[in-house]
Every structure is written in C-alpha cells, then in structure tokens.
Amino acid sequence: MIEIINQQHKYWISLKKFKDLLKKLVEHRKLKDPEVTLVFVDTKTIKRLNHRFLKINAPTDVLSFPLGEKSADGKFYLGDIVISVPQAFKQCFSQKHGLERELELLTVHGFLHLIGFEHSKGFEEEEKKIHKLVLEG
C-alpha cells in the first residue's frame, strides 16, 4: 500500500500524482506490494526530524527512513519518505523548474534511499536512469 500524507498547508500538491509516481517506481523495481509512505511537511517538522535522527540542527529537503522488512502480518514495509515542501520551493528556482518537478525529483531521490542506494558510486547514474524511465517516459 502506498500512502501519501500532506501535513503542510501552504502549497497545493496533487496527492494522486505522487501516489502514481510511487506506483511507477515500485513497478520499475519489481517490488511486490510494499508499504511505503510519502509525507509532505513544513520547515519546522523537517528540521526537527533532521536533528532527531541525523543530529543536524537545520532543515533539509528530503529524509528517508528505510525499513525493508516483513512484519508479522506478512506485509513488506519499505519505509517512509519525508519531504520539506518549503525547501523544495526554494530549490526549484535555482533549478529553473516548478515546485511539482522538484517534489518529483525528491521523491525519486528518497525512494532510491529506501531501496538501499547511498550517496556513493552508482547513485547518480541510477537516479538519472529512473528519471528517464519514470518521470520522462
């Protein structure tokens, strides 16, 4: 099951679009019906989470919390992606694209972390490949 939660109220987001995006990502990676949650938050929330889990007392754009395990109910819990919408809004100007595109890119980035990719060799190549297949395909 894919769950999308919008906890911020400043920017409008098509929750269906992001559910469809995550469905495409799951299909592309051939994952069998995983539980994954995408949460859109404000700056205060992402800063608090970043401080609590990464000991960085500053806002960031995206955090991923991979679980990657099967529970007693038999469901496979992939994990959670948390995106700061205000941070994405700031970044979209420097990238010269809209907020929705920035949120899509951050969703892909967070998803790659959920499936085990880290910021090392191979991450950027996989990210570009998925962008072409899922976002542009």
Q: What is the pLDDT of residue 123?
A: 75
Q: What is the pLDDT of residue 95?
A: 78
Residue 82 exposure: Cα atoms within 13 Å on the Cβ side: 19
Residue pair 66/114 in contact (Cβ under 8 Å)? The answer is: yes
Q: What is the pLDDT of residue 13?
A: 96
- Judge if pTM exceeds 0.85: yes
Opening angle at CA 20, ends 35 and 116, nearest 5? 45
Across the chain, mean pLDDT equals 90
Tens digits of per-residue pLDDT, 93-120? Answer: 887 889 999 999 999 999 999 998 887 7
Alpha helices in the chain (DSSP H): 15-28, 43-54, 85-95, 99-114, 123-130
What is the rounded distance in angstroms from the CA atom of residue 4 to the CA atom of residue 64? 14
What the chain holds in terms of domains, given with CATH numbers, is 2-135 (3.40.390.30)
Span 70-98, average pLDDT = 89
For residue 121, pLDDT beyond 70: no
According to DSSP, the β-strands at 76-84 and 62-70 are antiparallel
Q: What is the pLDDT of residue 132?
A: 74
